[in-house]
Structure 1
Amino acid sequence: MTTAVRAVRDHVTPLPATGADGPAPTWHHAEVLEHRPEADRYQYLRLHAPTIARTAAAGQFVMLTAARHRERGPVLPRPMAIYRRDAEAGTIEVVYGVVGDGTRKLTTFTAGEAMLVVGPLGRGFAVPADTERVLLVGRGIGTCSLTTVAQDLAGTATGVVAVASGRTPEAVIGAEFYRDCGAEQVLTVTDAEGTSGVEHLRRLLTSTLDEAPPRRILTCGSDRLAWLCGELADRWDAEVQVSLEAHMACGLGYCHGCATGTRSGPEESPLICKDGPVFRLEGTR
């Protein structure tokens, strides 16, 4: 019998307000520049969306509409992490899993078509400039929420250690991207190789980082790995920021359909789209 894992979304709080508004979301009828299968069961999508590419912060997301102009459905857009953005070229890249009717419809868009995109949305990761080292821990498609952190830290004084986890080597996302961004270490672990379990990863990370631990740990894609990050944060006196995934109808905070489940008195639970998707993980001790 397996032990149930506490739901991470029940143990998060919004990051402290910075006192500055984030970039205002906008919309593009974005030209599809490239769209192809990517490893395992994923799809790679590159879009021309200059405003989003220029303003998106690390960890923010976009809403992609799968219906073409004048089509009746699918009605609801799909939230997707921004995997990479290029402000100079005006492009954003998305890697997504095909899991239902909406994402299957997304796969039918080809180069030259226009796709309705809204973004950048949500509150991203907060990594102060004086942070000496960060640890990024991603599982499967959740890694796509972390890659823009490595992109922003490339060439800075902040060191990056990254864990990319997947079911098989073919399902691991982001490892080469992390290396291209100059990460100090990139650790790939998989179920197929028996290296992705919590106990193994705990031993690997403590032996690797105990002498020079990170002060911020950023994670997405697995509750089990998030709680491991919490244990390591206690060991290293670090902070954990977790990006949560959720079904959304609007991505703007209007529908209130993506509440985290946590409550503070009579107030509504924080919304993943507006107060997140990045939160601080609490209750790790």
Structure 2
Amino acid sequence: MSTSEGGLVTLPAVQRPKPTWEHASVLHHEPIGDRYRALRLQAPKIATTAQAGQFVMLTVARNGETAPALPRPMAVYRRDPEAGTLDVLYGVVGDGTRKLAGFQPGEEMLVVGPLGRGFTIDSHVHSVLLLGRGIGTCSLTTVAQDNAARGVDTIAVTSARHHGALIGAQAYREFGAKAVYEVTDEAGTSSPDALFATLTEDWDQQPPQLILVCGSQRLTTLAAELAQRWPAALQVSLEAHMACGLGYCHGCASGARSEGEESPLICTDGPVFGWRFNGAGDVA
């Protein structure tokens, strides 16, 4: 399988909800699998407006505490506008997320959102392929949630090192995905070559019109190969450490192509970007 040449590009501006803040109550907080935790927050203003692919900033310091000083960016894993709730999944990897893991039901935390540019699914699209690796899958699940409401087919791949680290499959099935692939390094099913063979065998005759990917450079390369083969539009969600999430600090440059001196920011111009193939126009 050859590598597709190309790169990230900023997608056209779209209308997005105005960010707000809430002192959100913790409703549920529990382990998921062997390395993640699931957090449900009562945050009706954000849950009502959040678009697929957007994120929130969670302040980990409790009232009266000064550290950790910086909030943590988290993808919106799912939202329920009627109940006013939003869910995030995260891994405990440092001091901030260890602090976050200590929040108990009934406590409150400051949440800012929804933030960033989400995914765009045009009205003519009737089938979407989602490719997610690890915690990157959390940026894609709300797409399946919206697809279910619009009658758009979802084909979903969730990838991890081993079965206990897989996330998202249950949500995809709950949202009526047409097919869900759970692939792992342990089983030898997650490599780009193996996935390319599986997906082309299953979908060459009825290929999706749009591919969305997050969580792995290898998956992005695979997505570009599939987008050229079928052909399909391609959008890529990037993950990054952030200090503000609002574009003030300029600390999360994306590396995407830009006419200016600074590349677009993941927090405001992204996290979702399009993909341009060299010499072949835009796929976005």
TM-score range (shorter-chain normalised) is over 0.9
User: When the two structures are superposed, what TM-score results if normalisation uses the length of structure 1?
Assistant: 0.94
- Kindly report which structure 2 residues correspond to 1:148-167, keeping only aligned pairs within 5 A, or say none: 148-167=142-161
In the aligned structure 2, how far is the partner of 1:274 from the partner of 1:42?
Answer: 27
> Amino acid of the residue matched to residue 81 of structure 1?
A
In the aligned structure 1, how far is the partner of 2:65 from the partner of 2:40?
Answer: 22
| Aligned-residue identity in percent | 61
Q: For residues 252-274 of structure 1, what are the alpha-carbon distances to aligned partners after superposition, in whole Å with 9 as ceiling and x for unaligned?
A: 00000001123434342100000
In the aligned structure 2, how far is the partner of 1:283 from the partner of 1:222?
Answer: 19
Q: For residues 226-257 of structure 1, what are the alpha-carbon distances to aligned partners after superposition, in whole Å with 9 as ceiling and x for unaligned?
A: 11000000001111101000000000000000
Q: Which residue of structure 2 lines up, in the alignment, with residue 114 of structure 1?
A: 108
Q: For residues 80-129 of structure 1, what are the alpha-carbon distances to aligned partners after superposition, in whole Å with 9 as ceiling and x for unaligned?
A: 00000000000000000111110110001000000110000000000112
Which residue, 183, 186, 197 being the options, matches 2:191? 197
Are positions 1:256 and 2:256 aligned together?
A: no
Q: For residues 22-47 of structure 1, what are the alpha-carbon distances to aligned partners after superposition, in whole Å with 9 as ceiling and x for unaligned?
A: 10000111000011111121010000
Q: For residues 178-216 of structure 1, what are the alpha-carbon distances to aligned partners after superposition, in whole Å with 9 as ceiling and x for unaligned?
A: 011111100110011111011100000000110000110
In the aligned structure 2, how far is the partner of 1:23 from the partner of 1:201?
Answer: 36
In the aligned structure 2, how far is the partner of 1:264 from the partner of 1:141?
Answer: 28
Which residue, 197, 215, 221 being the options, matches 2:215? 221
- Give the gaps of 5 or more residues in structure 2: none
- Contact conserved, 2:10 with 2:256, CA < 8 A, in 1? no
CA shift for structure 1 position 155? 4.0
CA shift for structure 1 position 72? 1.1
- Contact conserved, 1:133 with 1:216, CA < 8 A, in 2? yes
- Contact conserved, 1:129 with 1:158, CA < 8 A, in 2? no
Are positions 1:16 and 2:27 aligned together?
A: no
Which residue, 41, 44, 61 being the options, matches 1:67? 61
> Amino acid of the residue matched to residue 245 of structure 1?
E
Q: CA RMSD in A?
A: 1.6
Are positions 1:247 and 2:255 aligned together?
A: no
Counterpart secondary structure, 2:18: coil
- Give the gaps of 5 or more residues in structure 1: none
